């Protein structure tokens, strides 16, 4: 079926497009994707994209300092992508938030603010402790990028696990560094495990926990597309 409108949005550092993928997040140096895209961009697009990444980094670091924190060079860590999790199901982060909202009678967002800064659209976790989630400005009139502390998310998930015992009771207890779950895989999961209470919210918990753990352990941001 033909698509309408201006067509698919091009891939950039903070926005990746791939058919059939809903959840799409990777842990990698903040400049890694730009370095891969750079050669395919024209002069002005390359300059614009570089400025966007610089804007986001400056915005995050300024906000961390404003909260009396220390950015600690999270944006200077070099290397390759160390984790990439893709799941062909839309709305997984929203499912986890909605499940927690019902279970906590509407108080989940105030109790776990860093987790609730994440979403099923571009956002980021950085491996630095700070109190409140950040809204990073990419410049150029684009939508601000929500940024959570990976350490904060990890602490909040530990509190959620203490309350709901997900690690002890969920069928999938350990997440790999690389996953590409297709629509066929999703159908198999739902057939075998979908009857479990809160399966998809708990699956989202396991995904985000893995990303937060790797982000902290490798001192790299987790970038959600």
Per residue in 179-209, pLDDT tens? 999 989 988 988 887 667 789 999 999 999 9
Q: Tell me, yes or no, whether 97 lies in a domain.
A: yes
Residue-wise DSSP of 14-34: TB---TT-SEEEEE--TTHHH
Per residue in 46-68, pLDDT tens? 999 999 999 999 999 999 999 99
Q: Tell me, yes or no, whether 12 lies in a domain.
A: no
Q: Tell me, yes or no, whether 66 lies in a domain.
A: yes
Number of domains in the chain: 1
Nearest one of 79, 85, 83 to 18, comparing CA atoms: 85
Nearest one of 108, 110, 142, 146 to 125, comparing CA atoms: 146
3-class DSSP state of 128: coil
Q: Are 211 and 85 in contact (CB under 8 A)?
A: yes
Structural domain boundaries, residue 38: 23-224
3-class DSSP state of 73: coil
Q: Tell me, yes or no, whether 11 lies in a domain.
A: no
Nearest one of 122, 117, 76 to 219, comparing CA atoms: 76
Asked if residue 6 has pLDDT above 70, the reply is no
Q: Tell me, yes or no, whether 5 lies in a domain.
A: no
Q: Tell me, yes or no, whether 3 lies in a domain.
A: no
- Cα distances from 201 to residues 95, 101, 207, in angstroms, run 5, 11, 10
Q: Tell me, yes or no, whether 180 lies in a domain.
A: yes
């Amino acid at each position: 079926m033909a698509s309408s409108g201006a067509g698919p949005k091009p891939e950039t550092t903070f926005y990746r497009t791939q058919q059939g993928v809903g959840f799409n997040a990777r842990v990698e140096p903040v400049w890694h994707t730009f370095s891969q895209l750079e050669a395919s961009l024209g002069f002005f697009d390359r300059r614009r994209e570089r400025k966007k990444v610089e804007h986001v980094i400056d915005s995050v670091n300024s906000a961390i300092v404003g909260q009396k924190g220390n950015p600690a060079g999270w944006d200077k860590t070099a290397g390759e992508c160390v984790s990439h999790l893709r799941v062909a199901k839309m709305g997984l982060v929203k499912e986890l938030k909605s499940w927690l909202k019902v279970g906590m009678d509407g108080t989940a967002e105030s109790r776990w603010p860093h987790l609730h800064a994440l979403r099923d659209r571009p956002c980021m976790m950085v491996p630095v402790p700070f109190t409140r989630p950040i809204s990073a400005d990419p410049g150029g009139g684009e939508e601000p990028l929500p940024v959570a502390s990976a350490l904060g998310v990890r602490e909040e998930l530990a509190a959620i696990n203490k309350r709901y015992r997900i690690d002890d009771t969920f069928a999938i207890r350990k997440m790999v560094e690389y996953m590409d779950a297709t629509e066929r895989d999703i159908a198999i999961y739902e057939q075998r495990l979908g009857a479990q209470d809160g399966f998809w919210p708990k699956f989202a918990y396991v995904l985000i926990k893995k990303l937060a753990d790797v982000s902290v352990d490798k001192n790299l941001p987790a970038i959600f597309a």
